[in-house]
Amino acid sequence: MKTDGTFHINIWAVVCNIVRYSTKKLAVVNTSNSTFRRASKIIALLLPFLLLTTFSAFSQITISKINVSLEDIFFAITKQAGYNVIYKEEQIQKANKVSINVENASVTSVLDFLARLLPIKYSISGKNITIDFDANNGTPGSPPGIALTGKVTDASGNPLPGTTISIKNVKGIGAIVNSDGEFALYDIDPASTLEISHIGYDTRIIKLDNRKTLLIALNLQVRSLEEFVTNGYTSTPRKYEVGSIKKINFDQIPKQIGNNIFAAIQGRIPGMMITQQSGLPGSPYRVQIRGQRSIGLSGQLPNNSPLFVVDGVPFLSSSESISQKGGVLSNNPFSTLNPEDIESIEVLKDANATSIYGSLGANGVVLITTRRAKVGVASLNLNIYSGLSTITRAPDLMNTEEYLAMRKEAFRNDNEIPNVNNAPDLSTWNNNRYNNWKDLLIGGTAHFTDAHLRFAGGSQYTQFALSGGYNRETTVFPTDQGKSFTSASFNFSHKTPSKKLEFNLSASYGYDRNKLFAVDPTQFIASVPNSPNPFKEDGTLNFGGPLESAFSNPFAYLYQPYNVTMERLTTGFRLEYRPIKKLSLRTSAGYNLISCDEVYQIPIASQDPRNSPTGAASFATSKNRNWIIEPQVEYWDTTTNSNLKILVGSSLRSRTGISNLLDGFNYTNDAGLNSISNAGTVTAINDYSQYKVISAYALINYILQKKYIVEATVRRDGSSRFGPNRKFGNFASLAAGWIFTNEKLMGKPSSVLSFGKLRLAYGTSGNDQIGDYQFLDAWVNNTRNPYQNPTILPSRLANLDYHWEVQRSLDIGLDLEFFKKRFMLSATFNQGRTGDQLLSITLPVQTGFARVIRNYPALTQNRNLEIELTSSNIRSKDWSWNTSINISFLRNKLVRFPDLKNSDYGNNRFVIGKPLNIVWGYRTGEMDKNTGIYPILDRNGKKIDIPTSLPTLDDQVVLGTYDPEYFGGMENKIDWKNWQLQFLFQFVKQMGQDPIYSNDRVPGYAVNQPRSLLNRWVTSGSNAPYPEYTQSGNSPAAISWFFVNSSDLAFSDASYIRLKNISLTYDLPESWFRNLKIRKCSLYVLGQNILTFTKFIGFDPETWQSKYALPPLKTFAAGIQVNF
């Protein structure tokens, strides 16, 4: 033992009761056992291949620690084996840190191990160990093996114990990850390649490239039963889930063009019908889960949009628009979410999953989770793509020659002579001119570019992620303008080393700017083909004249800008504390702000100067603020035989809406349109609304013997949307599952059926989509008539009694897995019945009002059958091919409606036993070959003698329903070496409106028509599907046509199968960029709406409901993704 002078005592040493002699950096370590343990916790590691240590007969040492200093190892030796270790502190501090994992090892084996890693020599004499550094001993042998330590987690940073680490092409060396997710490997080739695998997760291959520490996150395999699904506020492995939940991991689906999350999940979720409303950028989607439940106040079926929750904060519903001027262009607040920032979407469909959302859950719940920070080496991910879009399909319209022939024939049929007044197209307009309005207005190519950058990483304790995105898209219209979108997000998580305290902070922001026009020009493609050119020679808009008759110039609308700016800010924070291992206390809070600014201008220059127009401009702002606080306590207990989980929580939610709208008229010059102060007259409206929900809920989940699962949920809700007497209500559900393949009676799990689960769930949930304040009476300003002074009028009766609609839903499901996950089948039958319908019910006017909103004992029913199949068709070294198919059948009906006949909902609206979305129309007879007119039949099937008598509503019959008969999707994923091909077919079997027969523009009028109409009745005996042309409003042909518009002829098949998404990805071989610090680089091409198979003529069958709106676009894109 050498001493070299003065003592050096630091605080640490005092605390630990360590005496350290050092001026010339020599120390003797002698510690007391208990304090040492308290001071530093040693993390246990398993290292099977280091079993060499067990042969030692000497005092045994157990130590496992990553990146530990030699000093700490010496402490342990001193402590556990009672040796004194003598060393020079100066040298020791220079030495690299090491990772060590030994159990009951001898002192010598530990020292030998250290000597292999570090340039040290040791000598033992009695109880003293002397350590000497040997600078020349740095490279024992060549090449030197390195020590590697690391941690393996799942994508959320939870440790994945049991993961195997093996070294490629080296047999017998490897590691198994311990319960904290950590592992260590020693003396391995720094250029080796590791294979990290865990059941249920995608295996990862990692090149070591001299790295000495690795943080590895494994992604779940598609559809794995081990995958966790979030059941409202807690999560369960899919294997034990008893509710009906579908999760989409955005990592596993192709990239989406444009920022619309609905496009990404369309066709992938059984029971969820998603319909795009138009092909305009940022256009809304209609989303409905398991059918129409509500009848609605006016009998106009409300959207029944599910509850959307983004990172725990309720979002707007898919049917809500906060734009005030939008109309067909109404923007979709969801376009402020960047799909590239989304990690997963979970759709909760049944009562078990949704009853924890109480009065809000009846229409289903969609949980959107943005990308969390993850454990792993900091990496930079860059993704850039660019592409083109055109319209999918459009009707083939007549050219000038065909059009003029139609017009002339129409006049001949009507025995009228065309003149300047009744036919400018035949008289003053140039008969040789051909303006192909379809090509002019919507024939363009839209361009878009998207860039997204993400920087993420973190240690096991602290993780972060930062991302930013930008994209820009133009339209198919003749303008350069379009939509641009910028997003940024940030996520940070930290947990203390004790893992008792954990918090997560996130913020994301989206800025969506849409510069378009308020009127969709698509509706003008049927303008007269020989109408004047849209522009005069001087470049100004042409409205006809002086030699030509005036015309309504469709291009005028392109000069009426409508700009919308939407912003979204979502911030959330979650704090979790685990005082003991089985208990978690947590509180999450979130805030979400969505704002929308609109400017809509009608310049004088965009209007026909002959009308001496003035300008108009509107300025609208609206803001929607949401906040939520949710404290929760969760307790769980796991024994070998059972798992118990109890969750108790509550939720406070507030939503405030504010809007202002200024309409300015009578602008005298276009330069002033940017300010409301230049308007001649101004009208202003503002609004404010508030909505609050308070809830308390509890959930118990019990799994016995990995076979029997029981889950019960209760929730008590109070909502500000209901009167003081009815604000509170209770909801509950009970679910059970039975994994029968784990039953002993079945013997060992057979190799055919490897997993089977039967599940059953029943419960209640509510729908409060009624609007705010409806229960209060209300007075409105009497704007018409002051009585000396302004007055106010009562506008509504107070109804303190109404409450949410209540849905009772039953789910029966079967999940099967065959041939070791090669083939999986999941089928769910659901029956949901919604009663206490909120209707506007007729009152005797002696009450002061003719109607009041009340819960009415009408009952609607939806029966769903949802089937999902997943199959691994090929699984080999180079090849893999997976297919998943889902299909949903839906039957909706009105079960009960007391006194339907006498209510406002009876006549020609609802029928008991029929779907809510019922279609009424006239029946038509065979075309009269003598007149070229379709006869309309009366209720008895007799022809109505038009125009002497006219059909009435009484003559209408039920033609069917617009509800889809079935819908679904089929996805294929094919991997071959570095190539991956993924494509999704989406299909819908449904009825819609025939675009020609439902067209209220009579064939022969001064409107262009599809070329199909050339096949019309010409003379007596003609055998054609379309009636004679007419240009008169009073001719029997025209009158008949008006009724044909809503007849069985107009009710036609709008089914389609569509290649919705296709993507081909090529991962560049790593050897190409090994020296560029690039980890991964892929090139890909994407396509959307590439092929559509349908009998539907005209525009797109998906958007048949908005007949004159731009259909969804067909898109191609190519991109590159680089990971540094």
| Sites for other proteins among residues 616-635 (CB under 8 A) | 629, 631-633
Contact window for other proteins (CB under 8 A) among 23-31, 168-176, 712-720, 969-977: 712-720
Q: Does 791 bind other proteins (CB under 8 A)?
A: yes
Q: Which of 223-231, 585-593, 808-816, 1028-1036 is the region at the interface with other proteins (rule: CB under 8 A)?
A: 585-593
Which of the residues 359 through 398 are near other proteins (CB under 8 A)? none
User: Rule CB under 8 A: is residue 849 a binding residue for other proteins?
Assistant: yes
ω into 790 cis (within 30 of 0): no
Give me the least distance between CB of 791 and other proteins, in Å please.
4
Cross-strand partners of 992: 1052
> Tokens representing 55?
């042969």
Cross-strand pairs, 288: 273
Between 849 and 966, name the residue whose CB sits nearer to other proteins. Answer: 849
Dist. CA 197–CA 176, nearest whole Å:
10
**x/- map, 645-684, other proteins, by CB under 8 A:** ---xxx-x--------------------------------
User: Both tokens of residue 1062?
Assistant: 């296709």
Asked if residues 206 and 162 have their Cβ atoms less than 8 Å apart, the reply is no
Contact residue for other proteins among 52, 850, 958, 1076 (CB under 8 A): 850
Among 1, 14, 417, 685, binds other proteins (CB under 8 A): 685
- Select 642 or 902, whichever has its Cβ closest to other proteins: 902
Site for other proteins in 721-760 (CB under 8 A): 727-728
* CB of 714 closer than 8 Å to CB of 730: yes
3-state secondary structure at position 784: strand
Which residue's CB is nearer to other proteins, number 608 or number 777?
777
Q: Which of 453, 569, 682, 694 binds other proteins (CB under 8 A)?
A: 694
Residue numbers 69-128 binding other proteins by CB under 8 A: none
Q: Which residue has the tokens 């889930």?
A: 241
CB nearer other proteins, residue 93 or residue 902? 902
Which phi-psi region, left, alpha or beta, contains residue 33 (left: φ > 0; alpha: ψ -120 to 50)?
alpha
CA distances in angstroms from 190 to 143, 145, 168, 1110, listed in the order given: 9, 7, 12, 58
Site for other proteins, residues 432 to 491, rule: CB under 8 A: none
- How far apart CA 286 and CA 303 sit, in angstroms, is 8
Give strand pairing partners of 1010.
Answer: 397
Q: Is 498 in the site for other proteins (CB under 8 A)?
A: yes
- In terms of CB distance, is 33 or 795 closer to other proteins? 795
* Binding segment toward other proteins, per CB under 8 A, in 234-242, 427-435, 513-521, 713-721: 713-721
Q: CA–CA separation, 608 vs 546, rounded Å? A: 12
- The sign one gets for the Cα dihedral 288, 292, 294, 297 is positive
847 binding other proteins? (CB under 8 A):
yes
Segment holding 385, helix H or strand E? strand 376-391
Comparison of 481 and 650: residue with beta carbon closer to other proteins: 650
By CB under 8 A, the count of residues binding other proteins is 72
Q: Does 431 bind other proteins (CB under 8 A)?
A: no
Work out which of 188, 585, 957, 1059 binds other proteins, going by CB under 8 A.
585
- With respect to other proteins, which residue has the nearer C-beta, 785 or 1023? 785
Tell the smallest beta-carbon distance from residue 722 to other proteins (Å): 9
Residue selected from 744, 784, 877, 1077 as contacting other proteins according to rule CB under 8 A = 784
Judge residue 229's burial from the number of C-beta atoms within 10 Å of its C-beta, 0-12 exposed, 13-18 middle, 19 or more buried.
buried
Per the document, the length of the chain is 1124
The answer to whether the CB of 234 falls within 8 A of the CB of 346 is no
Query: Would you list the DSSP string of 835-903?
Result: ESEEEEEE--GGGS-SEEEEEE--EEEEEEEEEEEEEEEEE-SSEEEEEEEEEEEEEEEEEE-TTTTTS
- Closer by beta carbon to other proteins, 902 or else 1020: 902
Q: Where does this chain touch other proteins (CB under 8 A) — which range of 6-14, 540-548, 644-652, 962-970? A: 644-652
Part in contact with other proteins (CB under 8 A); list of ranges 227-235, 283-291, 386-394, 840-848 = 840-848
* Of residues 449, 447, 280, 258, the one with CA closest to residue 338: 258
- Please pick, from the candidates 269, 797, 927, 1037, the single residue that binds other proteins as defined by CB under 8 A: 797
Q: For other proteins, give the closer residue by CB, 502 or 598.
A: 502
CB of 360 to other proteins, least distance (A): 13
Q: In angstroms, give the least distance from the CB of 647 to other proteins.
A: 12
Within 764-783, which residues bind other proteins (CB under 8 A)?
772-773, 776-780, 782
Site for other proteins in 984-1043 (CB under 8 A): none
Site for other proteins in 882-941 (CB under 8 A): 902
Query: For the window 508-527, what string marks contact with other proteins as x by the rule CB under 8 A?
Result: --------------------
Closest to other proteins by CB, 144 vs 790, is 790
Stretch binding other proteins (CB under 8 A), from 184-192, 199-207, 836-844, 862-870: 836-844
Task: List, in sequence order, every residue forming a beta bridge with 947; answer none if it has no partner.
Answer: none
The CB density around residue 539, as the number of other CB atoms within 10 Å, is 7
Q: Examine residue 794 and tell whether it contacts other proteins (CB under 8 A).
A: yes
Q: Is residue 686 at the binding interface for other proteins, with CB under 8 A as the rule?
A: yes
Nearer to other proteins by Cβ, of 15 and 746: the residue is 15
Radius of gyration of the chain, Cα coordinates, nearest whole angstrom: 36
According to the binding rule CB under 8 A, does residue 587 interact with other proteins? yes
Among 169, 210, 785, 1019, binds other proteins (CB under 8 A): 785
Q: How many CB atoms neighbour CB 439 within 10 A?
A: 13
- Judged by CB under 8 A, the chain residues 163 through 202 that form the site for other proteins are none
Of the candidate spans 497-505, 700-708, 729-737, 1116-1124, the one that interacts with other proteins by CB under 8 A turns out to be 497-505
Q: What is the separation, in whole angstroms, between the first and last Cα of the chain?
A: 51
- Please report, as residue ranges, which positions from 304 to 363 form the binding site for other proteins (by CB under 8 A): none
Angle at CA of residue 292, ends 288 and 293, nearest 5°? 115
Q: How many CB atoms lie under 10 A from the CB of residue 327?
A: 12
DSSP string, 978-1043: TEEEEEEEEEEE-EEE-TTTT--S-TTSSS--BGGGGSB--STT---SB------SSSHHHHHHHH
- What mask of x and - would describe binding to other proteins in positions 564 to 583, judged by CB under 8 A? -----------xxx-x----
Torsion of CA 769, 771, 777, 782, to 10 degrees: -150
Q: How far is the CB of 329 from other proteins (least distance, A)?
A: 25
CA quadruple 738, 740, 743, 745: dihedral positive or negative?
positive
Q: Which is nearer to other proteins, 307 or 991 (by Cβ)?
A: 307
Binds other proteins by CB under 8 A, chosen from 453, 843, 1068, 1078: 843
